[in-house]
């Protein structure tokens, strides 16, 4: 509701002119709120303390799902009751949006539609709509859109592939995914108990040598992706120790032989 004044101006050419102001086929005359000023060429009608009622809602009826899968389409609708007619603007994270590429903005009677075709992870964020007319403006509540994707780029990290018996081994698996992926581990193609992004093998034995891999799963996209295989070799400590002992004995014999030659 606004308290203001409105002035209307009427002019014509000719001689001996008279001006008559009408409202809904009824003649208007000067009063406390209506002022009429007339001369030979024009007439001005001023209405003071006029009440302007503006009904500017919303925007309302903004419809969007909370989660969208990568490659799907996003559709938002912004509408309002406004007199005079309103203009609509769309924003993503505070940045103004315009129709281009996969982004399509269409105006309708009393509203505006925003469509994002084939969304990517970079299309998620806070969407909002601004509605304005010559008298006022209003902003919608932000709608947070999350785009689900992945898992992608599943990677298994192992610092070494050769370990002595009795070692503790830690393998790490990562993936690009929203929501975060869950992981399963495999040894020679068989599922290992437990889950998580890390696999710990404590006090490893030779029979644990083999092929290790991890698989990432996204519960929102229902997609899997498996990492590359890491070949882990567990060495026999007994053989390694025997080899070291022989080498020491051979060196000792050489040293003794040299001493005999000198004496």
Q: In this structure, are 66 and 36 located in the same domain?
A: no
Euclidean distance between CA atoms 262 and 62, whole angstroms:
98
Q: State pLDDT tens for residues 73-104.
A: 888 888 887 777 788 999 999 999 998 888 99
Asked if 213 and 198 sit in the same domain, the reply is yes
Per-residue b/e over 75-106, b at no fewer than 16 CB within 10 Å? ebbbbbebeeebebbbbbeeeebeeeeebebe
Q: Is residue 16 part of a domain?
A: yes
**Residues spanned by the domain of 127:** 52-141
Question: Final residue of a domain: which of 141, 166, 187?
Answer: 141
pLDDT tens-digit series, residues 151-201: 999 999 976 789 999 999 999 999 999 999 999 999 999 999 988 999 999
Average pLDDT over residues 58-76: 61
Q: Is the pLDDT of residue 60 over 50?
A: no
Mean pLDDT within 227-243: 77
27 found inside a domain: yes
Which of the two residues, 68 and 212, has the higher pLDDT score?
212
Cα–Cα distance between 146 and 66 in angstroms, integer? Answer: 6
- Does some domain include residue 244? no
- Among 106, 141, 176, give the residue marking a domain's end: 141
- What pLDDT was estimated at residue 67? 56
């Amino acid at each position: 509701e606004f308290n203001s004044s409105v002035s209307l101006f009427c002019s014509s050419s000719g001689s001996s002119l008279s001006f008559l102001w009408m409202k809904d086929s009824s003649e208007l005359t000067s009063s406390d709120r209506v002022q009429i000023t007339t001369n030979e060429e024009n007439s001005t009608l001023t209405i003071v303390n006029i009440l302007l009622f503006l009904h500017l809602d919303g925007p309302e009826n903004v419809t969007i799902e909370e989660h969208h899968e990568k490659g799907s389409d996003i559709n938002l609708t912004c509408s309002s009751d406004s007199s005079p007619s309103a203009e609509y603007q769309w924003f993503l994270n505070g940045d103004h949006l315009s129709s281009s590429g996969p982004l399509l903005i269409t105006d309708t009677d009393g509203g505006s539609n925003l469509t994002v075709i084939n969304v990517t992870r970079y299309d998620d964020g806070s969407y909002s709509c601004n509605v304005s007319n010559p008298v006022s403006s209003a902003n919608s509540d932000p709608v947070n859109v999350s785009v689900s994707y992945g898992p992608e780029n599943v990677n298994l990290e192992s610092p070494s592939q050769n370990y002595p018996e009795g070692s503790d081994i830690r393998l790490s698996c990562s993936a690009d995914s929203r929501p975060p992926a869950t992981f399963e581990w495999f040894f020679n193609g068989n599922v290992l108990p437990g889950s998580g992004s890390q696999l710990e093998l404590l006090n490893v034995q030779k029979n644990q040598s083999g092929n290790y891999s991890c698989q990432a799963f996204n519960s929102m996209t229902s997609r899997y992706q498996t990492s590359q295989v890491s070949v882990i070799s567990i060495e026999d400590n007994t053989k390694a120790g025997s080899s070291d002992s022989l080498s020491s004995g051979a060196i000792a014999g050489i040293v003794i032989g040299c001493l005999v030659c000198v004496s």
